[in-house]
Structure 1
């Protein structure tokens, strides 16, 4: 095993950890912020989805800037923005300020969601690429889990402020302890920025920039697979319409489909509004936060399943099995809500089954395939477009879910998610190619 490559992938994947942490930390603050600022359902929707609007903004410029200044530069920029967001949310004095800093955090994880898997795919050997890019998704799930632990611990610190073990936290966070939930993100941000100091620039990006000697030094030093000759690599000024037609059309549609499906199946409704959903099932806020820790743990465990199997079984089988499991889980959750309070515990079972199916399939595979299918000379801009669809769909779900939940109630809401997702099984079977074991250059040539 090439441990240098593993470290590089780990360092870049920490962007995913921050993405996951920043995404999930919001769930513990929703009810507290709603009460403090007296927010309506629409206001809560904006509080949650404003970061997603920021993510869309981050994606818009990250493709262009990653092609112009490099993948490493953009990773460092995302780290700086994560730091500003975490500190700003901690000290914000009004709801408007809080939204502003959430927008900045959104820009950060918009950049991270596009650049991190892109960078990892460009430095990974073909036989390990699925595994290493999946480490990015593992980092997201770990970030989500640690955010849940952090939220739960911070709530305990508030409740047990007189206990010696929690006195300092009580002193720091005071009554508005949701601020402490945001502040806890500062520590992994510092780790991420420190690790970035020790990783190289992407050699494939250097090749596109015609910096051949610098690229070759990195390729030789880190034993990176690279098959394309320098005469075959040149930067291409490709507009939007060229990216959605000709030889680029099929990979673009594949990436867009995976990004959209990964969101309309409702994953982030559960991540953002988990405590609210569990409250709907009859759990208290404290029990709901504890339940989300269990959800985060299952998310991490089954992401390891994807890492172990994605380069053995392939991308397509994981997608098919996982999508089927996700749909059946949504229908089960809907049924348990229909049956009433006596089946509340089975709602948790359905959610855990849903998370498990998502974690070993849609979660990691969407990023793996999207980072593989595009040619090097347009990969940054093409990923920008597909990732825009991810965050656009995410923002719509995040904004509308509390209103849909309020109007339709939980049984019909989860039934709606399940029905919407059903056509995906046929699309995966018919249109998604298998890219296991192929170099990026072989995948690129297959479209030609």
Structure 2
């Protein structure tokens, strides 16, 4: 079997400066091997990594009910049920602290062990965290279990979008990565549902957390069976790590497994093409820590980090915090039950995320971002106006709430994770995505912790209008900074957009 020599690729195509000269552009633009693939074959390489997102969402939904069960004198089944607000806060945020730590760990190991092994490690920690939490004899052991589970969240939310983006066919890459967000929301709804069924059962919180165990086992077995990312294997080749022929053979076998029988005849040619493009855009050089903040690496960090930062600081946790009181004011009978309200909003999020999945590879990333965030701007100013001027018209708040949730799930919800999975150059993708995930969870923590003091200081109306102003700034950022990546291969994105 004949391969391109990476050194020959360097001589043939030269070094990349981040821009493509006219004589070189045809390599990136026109001469691609047609991406033959089987949709059936693409299901499992998506499904098993996406279980990491499902387990993350499930933890969010289940914990909201578990804190109620834990504090019940008659149903908790423990002697330490009399928890303070700080204790309950640690139960709720323990996984967030673990996720922050997991993002830091991912920065150091991602490009060494690869996406597949990182997801296997995440599945193992999901299993350990769920078991420790469900079987916790004391409060301190419970918190340890929550933190371990959170570390797996950080690893899974880092590696899953990378693995899916690097293995998915370009025509459906946007749909598959966005579908991971659908799985997160599906997990949340499942967590709320199982929580509502077991919240009145003796030691119900143990059952809530134990439900994660079989899913973690399935995820681990599935990732053990799946092949390594072919692009990660080829990155090791052109950076001179490992046996060249063995890595190339592994990359070809990986592509054949991932794309199905239709791809067998063109697998070797596709590997040659990816090798040539990776070398052309400068992937043969390892990136140092300082280079993360230079050139096209810096541009990728600005795009990816900016999106996930705005994803959090435009007020999503705060709006959802107010959801029960808004619906209760409007006279909805379900609003008195926080769990039912959460299920209602979760179903809306699920539907709107499904809409985004269907249209994202047809309309593109930018139209959905601009349209969705534009709707968020309107909804936030409506919500602020309700608390400032229209408190006698609760329908305004309900419309604003539903509009916000729907528009968020059309835009920032799925597309934030999609863009950070595809915008970073391959040699930077592991470290860059870990920094973006760290920004995401860090900003989430900041907004969560700052919300109550800011509400006390400014009032809900001014605070939501402030989020609206930040949302306007995010629109400007998207319009001028965020590129369109629809239909491009990952190598084309690096060559054309950075």
Q: TM tier, shorter chain? A: 0.7 to 0.9
1:193 aligns with 2:220: yes
The two structures have a TM-score, normalised by structure 2, of: 0.79
After TM superposition, the structure 1 = structure 2 runs for residues 154-169 of structure 1, keeping only pairs within 5 Å, are 154-155=198-199, 158=200
Q: Is the 8 A contact 2:335 2:341 kept in 1?
A: no
1:117 aligns with 2:170: no
After TM superposition, the structure 1 = structure 2 runs for residues 64-83 of structure 1, keeping only pairs within 5 Å, are 64-83=108-127
* Partner residue in 1 for 2:105: 61
Q: CA RMSD in A?
A: 2.8
* Partner residue in 1 for 2:63: 26
Distance 1:213 1:289 in 2: 51
* Partner residue in 1 for 2:274: 228
Deviation by residue 1:309-361 (Cα, 9 ceiling, x = unmatched): 11111100111111111222223333344568765565444332211111111
Q: Is the 8 A contact 1:49 1:399 kept in 2?
A: no
Shift of 1:237: 3.4
Q: 1:270 to 1:145 in 2, by over 3 A?
A: farther
Q: Kindly tell me the number of residue pairs found equivalent between the two proteins.
A: 430
Distance 2:453 2:92 in 1: 13
After TM superposition, the structure 1 = structure 2 runs for residues 124-139 of structure 1, keeping only pairs within 5 Å, are 124-139=168-183
SS in 2 for 1:257: helix
Distance 1:280 1:34 in 2: 27
Indicate the larger mover: 46-55 or 141-150: 46-55
* Partner residue in 2 for 1:162: none
1:401 aligns with 2:445: no
1:4 aligns with 2:4: no
Q: 1:423 to 1:276 in 2, by over 3 A?
A: same
* Partner residue in 1 for 2:373: 323
Q: Is the 8 A contact 2:61 2:188 kept in 1?
A: yes
Deviation by residue 1:271-298 (Cα, 9 ceiling, x = unmatched): 6786587679897886221011011111
User: Equivalent of 1:354, from 387, 398, 404?
Assistant: 404
Distance 2:254 2:361 in 1: 25
Shift of 1:407: 5.6
User: Equivalent of 1:214, from 244, 250, 263?
Assistant: 250
After TM superposition, the structure 1 = structure 2 runs for residues 26-425 of structure 1, keeping only pairs within 5 Å, are 26-30=63-67, 33=70, 36-40=81-85, 44-155=88-199, 158=200, 170=201, 174=202, 176-210=203-237, 211-221=247-257, 222=259, 223=263, 227-229=273-275, 232=279, 236-269=285-318, 287-338=337-388, 343=393, 347-405=397-455, 410-425=460-475
Deviation by residue 1:59-90 (Cα, 9 ceiling, x = unmatched): 11214322111111111111111122222222
Q: Is the 8 A contact 1:272 1:398 kept in 2?
A: no
Q: Which has the larger radius of gyration?
A: 2
Distance 1:177 1:87 in 2: 14
Q: Is the 8 A contact 1:51 1:104 kept in 2?
A: yes
User: Equivalent of 1:434, from 462, 468, 484?
Assistant: 484
Shift of 1:215: 0.5
Indicate the larger mover: 205-214 or 277-286: 277-286
SS in 2 for 1:312: helix
Distance 2:390 2:67 in 1: 25
Distance 1:196 1:132 in 2: 17
Shift of 1:178: 3.2
Q: 1:30 to 1:422 in 2, by over 3 A?
A: farther
Q: Is the 8 A contact 1:209 1:234 kept in 2?
A: no
Distance 1:112 1:430 in 2: 31
Distance 2:463 2:148 in 1: 30
Q: 1:187 to 1:269 in 2, by over 3 A?
A: farther
* Partner residue in 1 for 2:5: none
Q: Is the 8 A contact 2:334 2:341 kept in 1?
A: no
Shift of 1:140: 0.8
1:13 aligns with 2:50: yes
Shift of 1:410: 4.0
Task: For structure 1, list consecutive stretches of 5 or more residues without a partner in the other structure.
Answer: 159-169
Distance 2:61 2:454 in 1: 20
* Partner residue in 1 for 2:35: none
Distance 2:375 2:131 in 1: 39
